[in-house]
Amino acid sequence: MTTVLTPLDGLLPSLRELYLDLHEHPELSFAEHRTAAELARRLGAAGYDVHTGIGGTGVLGVLRNGDGPVVMLRADIDALPVEEKTGLAYASRARGQDAEGRDVPVMHACGHDMHATWLCGAADLLARGREAWRGTLLVVVQPGEEQGSGAKAMMRDGLFDIAGKPSVVLGQHVVPGPAGWVLTRPGVIMAATDSLRIVLHGRGGHGSRPETTVDPAVMAASVVMRLQTVVSREISATESAVVTVGQMHVGTASNIIADEAVLEVNVRTFDEQVREKVLAAIDRIVRAEAMAAGAPKPPEITTLASFSVTANDEAANANLTTVFREHFGAERVIEAPLVTGSEDFGEFGRAAGAPSVFWLVGGMDPEQVLTAMAAGRFEQDVPSNHSPLFAPVLEPTLATGVETLAIGALAYLSMT
């Protein structure tokens, strides 16, 4: 490990430049052309066999270094339709088109710019230190994570046909914890997510004659209120779920009763049985409310995005936790809480039939985080992922994430 990690200090200036560049030039899901090109260029310069255009804008770097395990390292690269409000000198002013064709601001509000930089740094270190290990490295640059479809898109496009299936799959995510901390967890670490679009059909008309209509606004209001009972009255207190109505659109004027209402609903669960129960309850409630209102036709329920739970192989997680504690010290490596955010990282391990481990790396000023926690104001004072104020501090966040990926790979590659 010492042999591989020694060049890191010399690489940090270049990695900082890469991070600042990626942060200033974010790109939305499956539009990460500039980002992918730069990462592919760097992997090629480090000696990797580079394959581009996998699953749209995905990149695979392959480094074969003799007989041994096949280790996959993954980072996601897409940004979000968020207007940055950090005030940083390198803040994004980029704009793009979302999936609906709307012009939107774009920001790396979830830290994928940091993930990509970590991956480049670890890939460079492992290539420079290849005399210390044997095996094959698969470095995967994944598009479209925010839509929950990037991992599947890469696999449909033959990701594992190029260099074979990995023996283990490793990944990580920056979070609003103290910079330099590493958080691991056996078993489930991140929630499953299902995003649904619900169209409620009414019969429109004049606001002065509601008796001639079926009002979808009233129908939608009833659905929203009834959905609040799914968790409170159908899920055990020992289980967990979140149901959020994030969007509701109905009508164009105060004196017009619309033909339809559109809701978008987000569901978070940690258990597959609970997930199925919640989704079935939503379906039942929506259809029942439409029937009760006398809707002229049944509602339409469409799945917009679906993420399975992210679950760590327990033995592999224990192995990496031990390795991280030996390197960083036990005070910097703690057990992660359950995270209600979601990831499609787990799709790689499931498709490969290989153990996978996903861990978290703190990225915020430690004094700010610990002070906020002591005052009971963590949620109010520390910007979270997806916030327009989310901005990891560069150090020690950058160095820590490069080291965790490199150390994680070395824990599985054959040592010389």
Binding positions for Mn(2+) are 110, 112, 146, 173, 386
Binding positions are 110, 112, 146, 173, 386
Which tens digit of pLDDT belongs to each residue from 258-284?
999 999 999 999 999 999 999 999 999
Q: What percent of the chain has pLDDT over 70?
A: 100
Beta carbons of 409 and 75 less than 8 angstroms apart? no
Which tens digit of pLDDT belongs to each residue from 43-101?
999 999 999 999 999 999 999 999 999 999 999 999 999 999 999 999 999 999 998 89
Q: Cα(280)–Cα(278) distance, rounded to whole angstroms? A: 5
CA distances from 278 to 142, 229, 281 (A): 30, 11, 5
Amino acid at 365: D
Give the pLDDT score at 416.
84
Which tens digit of pLDDT belongs to each residue from 154-213?
999 999 999 899 999 999 999 999 999 999 999 999 999 999 999 999 999 999 999 999
Give the pLDDT score at 270.
96
Give the pLDDT score at 100.
85
What lies within 8 Å, CB to CB, of 208 at 6+ separation is: 255
Could you say which DSSP state residue 383 is in?
A: P
Q: Cα(103)–Cα(19) distance, rounded to whole angstroms? A: 25
Q: Cα(1)–Cα(126) distance, rounded to whole angstroms? A: 10
Closest CA to 352 of 43, 116, 74: 74
Tokens standing for 275? Answer: 């997930």
Task: Name the residue ranges covered by the structural domains of the chain.
Answer: 2-191+309-415, 192-306
Closest CA to 354 of 146, 140, 175, 147: 140
Handedness of CA 387, 388, 392, 393 (dihedral sign): negative
Residue 137, classed as helix, strand or coil, is strand
Q: Give the number of other Cβ atoms within 10 Å of residue 354's Cβ.
A: 19
| Runs of H (alpha helix) within 25-98 | 33-45
Does residue 296 surpass a pLDDT of 90? Answer: yes
| CATH placement of domain 192-306 | 3.30.70.360
Q: Which CATH superfamily includes the segment(s) 2-191+309-415?
A: Zn peptidases (3.40.630.10)
Q: Cα(173)–Cα(361) distance, rounded to whole angstroms? A: 6
